[in-house]
Amino acid sequence: MALMEQDIQVLKNKPLFGKVALVTGSSRGIGADIAKELAGQGATVIINFVSNAEKAQQVAEEIRGFNPNVHLVQGNVSNREDIDRIYEEVREKFDKVDILVNNAGITRDSRFVKMTAEQWEEVIQTNLSSIFYMTKKFLPEMIEQNYGRVVNISSIIGQAGGFGQTNYSAAKAGMIGFTKSLAQETAKNNVTINCVCPGYIFTEMVAAVPEKVQEKIIAKIPMGRFGKTEEIAKAVRFLVVDGDYITGQCINVNGGMYM
């Protein structure tokens, strides 16, 4: 259904109207809600997906119900050739990217003694190396225009560790170090670099965990429940919309599980 003129006018009054936001891994879960949240603030949103075009299209259609400015780009951010293609496709359609949310991530859990080199490399490449290559592509234009917002989605596991997750923990901890260092380089250019560190969020992955295991996890969370994907999206929105003087920080959204 086409938006009415008054709906378009409301959109133009939103704080991110005229800004272009690229969210990696945004066809589902946390990434999808981040895309929706930023679109709700008026941004033109680029949804990135790897293989599930149907899911990505569903997210795009939902966004188009209140913001027509949405674009889909396929590509695996663990693959440098795909990243080059993503960049070219985005630059062909838009003259800039103002907001980059590095959200794409995978898990390949295993006790360290049984972890394969492939499990290690796949997680490091997707969760950590991708933020280097994606940010490397889009950061120069942010610096040139003297405005940019980069938000990296890390994890409580990168702060506190996790059994059977040395690969995931190393990657997510690396994201935090990356954020703190790069923030020092770009602050003078009005480009902020921040992290959001989710705790245990109720995603498809958590939903698949046996109920008894879920209960044990919840027992360790002071707020007594799993987080919601939209609560991560709200933290990202805050950093992008209102975080003008915030850079190099990790915003913990974990119900008090890690402080």
Mapped to the 3 state alphabet, what secondary structure does 25-70 carry? CCCCHHHHHHHHHHHHCCCEEEEEECCCHHHHHHHHHHHHCCCCCE
From residue 84, how far is each of 22, 25, 78, 193, 258 by CA, in Å?
14, 16, 11, 22, 37
Q: In CATH, what number does 5-253 get?
A: 3.40.50.720
d(CA 33, CA 37): 6
Q: Which tens digit of pLDDT belongs to each residue from 173-209?
A: 999 999 999 999 999 999 999 999 999 999 987 888 8
Is the model's pLDDT at 17 over the cut of 60? yes
- The CA-CA-CA angle for residues 34, 158, 229, to 5°, reads 25
Task: Report the pLDDT value the prediction gives residue 89, as an integer from 0 to 100.
Answer: 97
Task: Report the pLDDT value the prediction gives residue 2, as an integer from 0 to 100.
Answer: 66
Task: Report the pLDDT value the prediction gives residue 206, as an integer from 0 to 100.
Answer: 84
Work out the pLDDT band at 252, boundaries 50, 70, 90.
very high
Q: Which tens digit of pLDDT belongs to each residue from 48-105?
A: 999 999 999 999 999 999 999 999 999 999 999 999 999 999 999 999 999 999 999 9
d(CA 132, CA 126): 10
Task: Report the pLDDT value the prediction gives residue 205, as an integer from 0 to 100.
Answer: 78
Mean per-residue pLDDT over the chain, rounded: 96
Share of the chain above pLDDT 70, in %: 99
Work out the pLDDT band at 3, boundaries 50, 70, 90.
confident
Catalytic residue among 133, 168, 200, 258: 168
Backbone region of residue 14 per phi and psi (left: phi > 0; alpha: psi in -120 to 50; beta: other values): beta
> What are the binding residues for NADP(+)?
25-28, 76-77, 103, 168-172, 201
d(CA 163, CA 170): 12
> What are the binding residues?
25-28, 76-77, 103, 168-172, 201
Work out the pLDDT band at 6, boundaries 50, 70, 90.
confident
Is the model's pLDDT at 230 over the cut of 80? yes
Phi, psi of 165 (to 5 degrees): -135, 40
In the numeric block, the tokens 């991708």 are attached to 130
From residue 233, how far is each of 38, 58, 99 by CA, in Å?
8, 18, 14
Residue 146: CA atoms inside 13 Å, Cβ hemisphere, count? Answer: 1
Domain boundaries, the chain: 5-253
Query: Is 87 part of the annotated catalytic residue set?
Result: no
Is the model's pLDDT at 247 over the cut of 60? yes
Task: Report the pLDDT value the prediction gives residue 1, as an integer from 0 to 100.
Answer: 53
Task: Report the pLDDT value the prediction gives residue 207, as an integer from 0 to 100.
Answer: 85
The answer to whether the CB of 108 falls within 8 A of the CB of 125 is: no
Is the model's pLDDT at 44 over the cut of 90? yes
From residue 247, how far is each of 38, 64, 139, 176 by CA, in Å?
19, 31, 15, 12
Is the model's pLDDT at 212 over the cut of 70? yes
d(CA 250, CA 180): 9
Task: Report the pLDDT value the prediction gives residue 135, as an integer from 0 to 100.
Answer: 98
The answer to whether the CB of 81 falls within 8 A of the CB of 105 is: no
From residue 176, how far is each of 83, 110, 158, 252 by CA, in Å?
22, 22, 8, 12
